[in-house]
Chain A
Amino acid sequence: AQSVTQLGSHVSVSEGALVLLRCNYSSSVPPYLFWYVQYPNQGLQLLLKYTTGATLVKGINGFEAEFKKSETSFHLTKPSAHMSDAAEYFCAVSLITGGGNKLTFGTGTQLKVEL
């Protein structure tokens, strides 16, 4: 069974500092990996995804993530945090199952950006 672990339910950074949100997955086959962002009182929005090809994936709003198969990780980074990045971030994995396009989500990381 696939699963996703997000280390740190709350992360706090200063504006302008590096953002690093951690995600590890377990899967017996190559997964498709996603990062979604949820702003307050809104639905989830795709930040980026890894399917095949280049392991460094660039997304919206300056975020990127690197798929590391050897470490079963897909950490999300941004070089310089902005106040508008404050939100909850979810890592998700999608695998071929009988259930179609099913996403298994991590428990989320709340990002706080301080002045």
Chain B
Amino acid sequence: EAQVTQNPRYLITVTGKKLTVTCSQNMNHEYMSWYRQDPGLGLRQIYYSMNVEVTDKGDVPEGYKVSRKEKRNFPLILESPSPNQTSLYFCASSTTGGFSHEQYFGPGTRLTVT
């Protein structure tokens, strides 16, 4: 089944404790992206990757890092999480970086930072 998977689905952590949220897609997609969803704000892009060689910041990159060492995986790293990073996170992928292309979303990771 074609899908985007994220792990963990739920995570509660404390301020400053490094964490990684994994994202993997099995559709051989070039483009991958991370979003966060907050009530009343919709989804906002954190980072994106056009392919394994190109990764860049989105609208809200502060406090996050990403890595794209292989095409299928795009982990999101929070080096020192803070309470304002409590949110619902989505990974998405697309065939290419083409603007008419549908993005496929993972099921989401709900992160709570205390």
Contacts and interface: CB of A to CB of B under 8 A. Distances in A.
Interface stretch (B12-20, B66-74, B76-84, B90-98): B90-98
A55 B102 CA distance: 18
A34 B43 CA distance: 14
B90 A103 contact: no
Contacts of B99: 32, 94-96, 100-101
B75 interface: no
Contact of B40 (A34, A99, A107): A107
A108 B106 CA distance: 18
Interface residues of B, number: 28
B31 A100 contact: yes
Nearest to B106: A43
Interface stretch (A14-22, A44-52, A63-71, A73-81): A44-52
A42 B105 CA distance: 9
A26 interface: no
**Interface of chain A, main secondary structure:** loop
A90 interface: yes
A102 B58 contact: yes
B100 A43 contact: no
Contacts of B44: 105
B48 A101 contact: yes
A49 B102 contact: yes
A94 B43 CA distance: 13
B107 A107 contact: no
10 contacts: A44-B43, A52-B100, A90-B43, A94-B99, A99-B58, A100-B56, A101-B33, A101-B103, A106-B42, A107-B41
Interface of B: 4, 31, 33, 40-45, 48, 50, 56, 58, 90, 92, 94, 96-103, 105-108
